[in-house]
DNA sequence: GGTTGACCTGAAATGCGTTTCATAGTTTAT
DNA sequence: ATAAACTATGAAACGCATTTCAGGTCAACC
């Protein structure tokens, strides 16, 4: 592989001139430019990206931290990030963590070690303090709410949307409402749970432990929830489900077990994944794609603005609309 | 940010000694090692990865070329690659192409430009020649069959599995069999189509254009296929579907339209995605995850073996087993 | 006693492109 | 006519870590 010095020698100019041609600087005479281009073509030269990165102190790469990709919530976000990264000629380094904090830290170190210009955190397990520690090395954008003054944040208001979902069900006369969530300890889950409890309280219903299901991510986990409900003497008449995959699992399993949706059981999902439409699932249009694009744009502004120091942190709340389809109906009369 | 020279100065040693400590070389006196470690700790030093990459001529990064991530086939593959990459301390650069050949080439250039040590191609649009051009710069592993002597290949025999699927349907008495595919021009699709036609011929059935549906990737595209079949005077009694997402869309839509599966219509999918289990879809266990892990391992062996030159290309055929569930049944009696 | 080999260390070269600075020839403005 | 402002170019420094090479010490073995 040829390097810039060989090009300079072949073209009969200095390396500075070659570099100028490469970077479209003005002040290069037409004939020398021609000579350089000819030499580049002859030797099939392309700059070594590592040398460029080292010299300019930037890589046009961004690290994306997420637990896994085989879930529409994250792959949607990734699509969004990817789309806007492409536009700005950025590449993505994927840091799949499986919610392992050590992996999260390893990803953050890439920022410190100059391997990436910034970090987007789709979901995390570690404390905010961990992420704040690395914020001085470059922009970090988190796809979750945080009031940290060091971290940018792009999020939807899950408290608000959960209230809305609950009110929708309550308006249909439901009182025995269950909730299916993913993790117990995330900020998002806690917000949702708080809203759930608040609205139950507002109609004078107590919170029943057995109506709250956790670790519901996938289709079969949703199906499992429905099966376990069969044993209840007083099963919920409505379920709020934090992810469409689990919600679809519930709806499909209900169909198999002869439970009519929505006349026996109402279901509201979250995410609006493609299959939700096919199954006519009522859900929330949490466009994870938009979260992704906004997160990238936020990073990019911060990066560009960091002329002297670091650009200002941004906070963006994205809307999250309910999509009424066919899985919500009035509560059954006799209970 | 401190650099290695500052560490050397603070510890009172040469940069070589610091480098030795950093890289766990033997032959460093205990007291000097201590001094270096102390200096590193004091100045919070970590090596600049770009400088390391430039010096050693490798990056421990691998480029993954795929059209999009929000499809279980690809996100599964990505999970597999990711898992084994993690084990070997490799990071992944995601090159999402949307089947744009220009983007594919941009990704390949990262190999030439020393940004990645190798490339895994999950699916591509460009000619093999394009990829072969870049093979001299490092290992390229393709998740698709190719006899190119320059490219490693990890694949399942789709011809064989399509034959098996056809025979399963034929054994149940089906004669009007339709096929839903993704792209028309990929090698995989062509193999499948060839097997489909061969088996139709073997039972003396002609190939009907209107029984072949293309661009079936997603749930709603599957639903659309079913809806369009409603207009047929003689609809197929069985469908082979190249992806589970489309197959699930078909099954769900059939349920809505009062078409019984499998008594009115048999369906065989492909991929064995999670929802296939919930819907009891008969399918093929094309474990894209395993393709991913095998692809990474293949890359890694080639990379390790390239001591002098480039390691030998490998070809791996992975098994692909049929999973009988509940969407295949005997052909309807009266037609 | 002398040779061999293991252990330890640093100067300098290397990987490669960017950028600053100094120099010099040309215009343009005054 | 002369200062000011461009245009053009190369040498050298810089970003930073790795690696080779040469030199030196010390113990062990013949």
Query: Looking at the structure, do residues B152 and B232 belong to the same domain, yes or no?
Result: no
Q: Is B248 inside a domain boundary?
A: yes
Q: How much is the pLDDT for A41?
A: 95
Q: Is B324 inside a domain boundary?
A: no
Separation in Å, CA of A118 to nearest CA in chain B: 14
Q: How much is the pLDDT for B91?
A: 96
Q: What is the CATH number of the domain that holds B32?
A: 1.10.260.40
The mean of the pLDDT values for chain A is: 92
- For A278-296, b/e burial (b = at least 16 CB within 10 A) is bbebbbbbbbbbbbbbbbb
Mean pLDDT of A97-110: 95
The per-residue pLDDT for range A12-53, each reduced to its tens digit, is: 999 999 999 999 998 899 999 999 999 999 999 999 999 999
Helix (H) or strand (E) holding A201: helix A187-202
Query: Looking at the structure, do residues B150 and B165 belong to the same domain, yes or no?
Result: no
Query: Looking at the structure, do residues A144 and A169 belong to the same domain, yes or no?
Result: no
- Identify the burial level of B234 via C-beta atoms within 10 angstroms of its C-beta, where 0-12 means exposed, 13-18 middle and 19 or more buried: exposed
pLDDT band at A274, cuts 50/70/90? confident
> Which chain C positions come under 7 Å from a protein C-beta?
7-20
Residue A149 DSSP code: T
Residue with tokens 């970590």: B46
**C-alpha to C-alpha distances, A88 to A60, A117, B44, B112, nearest whole angstrom:** 9, 13, 32, 21
**C-alpha to C-alpha distances, B26 to A32, A61, A280, B17, B30, nearest whole angstrom:** 50, 35, 65, 10, 10
Closest among B277, B276, B283, B318 to B297, alpha carbons compared: B318
Three-state DSSP class for residue A215: coil
State whether A94 and B95 contact (CB < 8 Å). Answer: no
Q: Would you tell me how many other CB atoms lie within 10 Å of the CB of residue B30? A: 7
Separation in Å, CA of A199 to nearest CA in chain B: 32
Residue at the smallest CA–C1' distance to nucleotide D11: A14
Which residues of A are less than 8 Å from B76 in CB distance?
A: 70
Q: Which residues contact A261 (CB under 8 A, 6 or more apart)?
A: A251, A254, A255, A267, A326, A327
Query: Looking at the structure, do residues B162 and B146 belong to the same domain, yes or no?
Result: no
| Residue ranges in chain B whose pLDDT is less than 70 | 306-311, 334-335
Closest among A146, A64, A144 to A111, alpha carbons compared: A64
Query: Looking at the structure, do residues A108 and A64 belong to the same domain, yes or no?
Result: yes
Closest among B223, B228, B232, B234 to B267, alpha carbons compared: B223
Separation in Å, CA of A72 to nearest CA in chain B: 6
Query: Looking at the structure, do residues B166 and B268 belong to the same domain, yes or no?
Result: yes
* Span CA (B158) to C1' (D29), Å: 68
B18 alpha-carbon distance from chain centroid: 42
Q: Determine which of A68, A96, A133, A272 to mutate to test the interface with B (most B C-beta atoms within 10 Å).
A: A96
B91 in Cβ contact with A93 (< 8 Å): yes
The per-residue pLDDT for range A50-68, each reduced to its tens digit, is: 999 999 999 999 999 999 8
Q: How much is the pLDDT for B188?
A: 84
pLDDT band at A309, cuts 50/70/90? low
Q: Is B264 inside a domain boundary?
A: yes
Q: Name the closest nucleotide to A5, judged by C1' and CA.
A: C16
User: How many structural domains does chain A have?
Assistant: 3
Q: Is A106 inside a domain boundary?
A: yes
| Nearest-10 Cα torsion for A159, A161, A163, A164 | 170
Residue with tokens 């595209």: B221
Helix (H) or strand (E) holding A35: helix A30-42
**C-alpha to C-alpha distances, A97 to A145, B91, B213, B267, nearest whole angstrom:** 20, 12, 39, 37
The per-residue pLDDT for range A138-193, each reduced to its tens digit, is: 999 999 999 999 999 999 888 999 999 999 999 999 999 999 998 888 888 889 99
- Smallest Cβ–Cβ distance between A69 and the set B50, B51, B69 belongs to B69
d(CA B237, CA B208): 13
Q: Name the closest nucleotide to A48, judged by C1' and CA.
A: C16
Is residue A308 scored above 50 in pLDDT?
Answer: no
> Which chain D positions come under 7 Å from a protein C-beta?
7-20
Q: Is B326 inside a domain boundary?
A: no
A316 alpha-carbon distance from chain centroid: 14
State whether A91 and B91 contact (CB < 8 Å). Answer: no
Sign of CA dihedral A126, A103, A109, B65: negative
* Span CA (A18) to C1' (D7), Å: 17
Q: Is B9 inside a domain boundary?
A: yes
Residue with tokens 């107590």: A206
d(CA B285, CA B278): 15
Query: Looking at the structure, do residues A295 and A251 belong to the same domain, yes or no?
Result: no
Q: How much is the pLDDT for B73?
A: 87
Which residues of B are less than 8 Å from A46 in CB distance?
A: 109, 112-113
Query: Looking at the structure, do residues A79 and A194 belong to the same domain, yes or no?
Result: no
The per-residue pLDDT for range A217-226, each reduced to its tens digit, is: 889 999 999 9
| Nearest-10 Cα torsion for A211, A214, A219, A224 | -50
Query: Looking at the structure, do residues B35 and B114 belong to the same domain, yes or no?
Result: no
Residues for chain B: how many in total? 335
d(CA A244, CA A182): 11
State whether B93 and A61 contact (CB < 8 Å). Answer: yes
Q: Is A22 inside a domain boundary?
A: yes
Which tokens in the block code for residue A177? 């409402």
The per-residue pLDDT for range A199-223, each reduced to its tens digit, is: 999 999 999 999 999 999 889 999 9
Query: Looking at the structure, do residues B143 and B193 belong to the same domain, yes or no?
Result: no
Which residues of A are less than 8 Å from B110 in CB distance?
A: 49, 91
Q: Is B335 inside a domain boundary?
A: no
Q: Is the CB of B1 under 7 A from strand D?
A: yes
The residues facing B119 across adjacent strands are B63, B140
Which structural domain range is residue A12 located in? 4-45
Q: What is the CATH number of the domain that holds B130?
A: 3.40.50.2300
Q: Name the closest nucleotide to A52, judged by C1' and CA.
A: C17
Query: Looking at the structure, do residues A109 and A180 belong to the same domain, yes or no?
Result: no
Q: How many CA atoms lie within 13 A of B311 on its CB side?
A: 20
Residue A332 DSSP code: P
Three-state DSSP class for residue A80: helix
Query: Looking at the structure, do residues B273 and B164 belong to the same domain, yes or no?
Result: yes
| Percent of chain A clearing pLDDT 70 (strictly above) | 98
Which residues of B are less than 8 Å from A226 in CB distance?
A: none
Q: Determine which of B57, B87, B96 to mutate to test the interface with A (most A C-beta atoms within 10 Å).
A: B96
Is residue A108 scored above 80 in pLDDT?
Answer: yes
Q: What is the DSSP string of A238-304?
A: EEEESSHHHHHHHHHHHHHTT--TTTT-EEE-SS--HHHHHTT-BEEE--HHHHHHHHHHHHHHHHH
């Amino acid at each position: 592989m040829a390097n810039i010095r060989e090009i300079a020698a072949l073209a009969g100019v200095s390396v500075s001139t070659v570099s100028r041609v490469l970077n479209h600087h003005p002040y290069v005479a037409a004939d020398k430019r021609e000579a350089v281009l000819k030499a580049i073509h002859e030797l099939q030269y392309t700059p070594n990206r590592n040398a460029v990165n080292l010299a300019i102190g930037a890589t046009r790469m961004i690290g994306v931290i997420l637990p896994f990709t085989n879930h529409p919530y994250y792959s949607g976000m990734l699509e969004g990030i990817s789309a806007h990264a492409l536009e700005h000629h950025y590449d993505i380094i994927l840091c799949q963590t499986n919610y392992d904090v050590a992996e999260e830290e390893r990803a953050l170190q890439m920022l410190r070690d100059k391997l990436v210009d910034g970090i987007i955190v789709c979901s995390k397990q570690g404390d905010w303090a961990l992420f704040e520690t690395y914020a001085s090395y470059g922009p970090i954008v988190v796809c979750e709410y945080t009031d940290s003054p060091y971290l940018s944040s792009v999020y939807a208001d899950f408290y608000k949307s959960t209230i809305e979902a609950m009110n929708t069900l309550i308006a249909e006369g439901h009182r025995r409402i269950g909730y299916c969530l993913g993790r117990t300890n995330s900020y998002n889950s806690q917000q949702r749970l708080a809203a759930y409890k608040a609205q139950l309280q507002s109609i004078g219903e107590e919170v029943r432990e057995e109506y709250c299901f956790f670790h519901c991510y996938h289709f079969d986990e949703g199906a499992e929830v429905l099966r376990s409900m069969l044993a209840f003497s007083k099963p919920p008449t409505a379920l709020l489900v934090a992810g469409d995959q689990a919600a679809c699992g519930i709806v499909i399993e209900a169909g198999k077990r002869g439970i009519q949706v929505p006349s026996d059981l109402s279901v509201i999902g979250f995410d609006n994944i493609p299959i939700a439409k096919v199954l006519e699932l009522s859900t929330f249009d949490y466009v994870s794609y938009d979260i992704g694009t906004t997160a990238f744009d936020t990073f990019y502004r911060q990066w560009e603005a960091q002329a002297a120091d670091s650009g200002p942190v941004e906070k963006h709340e994205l809307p999250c609309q309910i999509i009424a389809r066919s899985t919500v109906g009035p509560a059954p009369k006799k209970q």
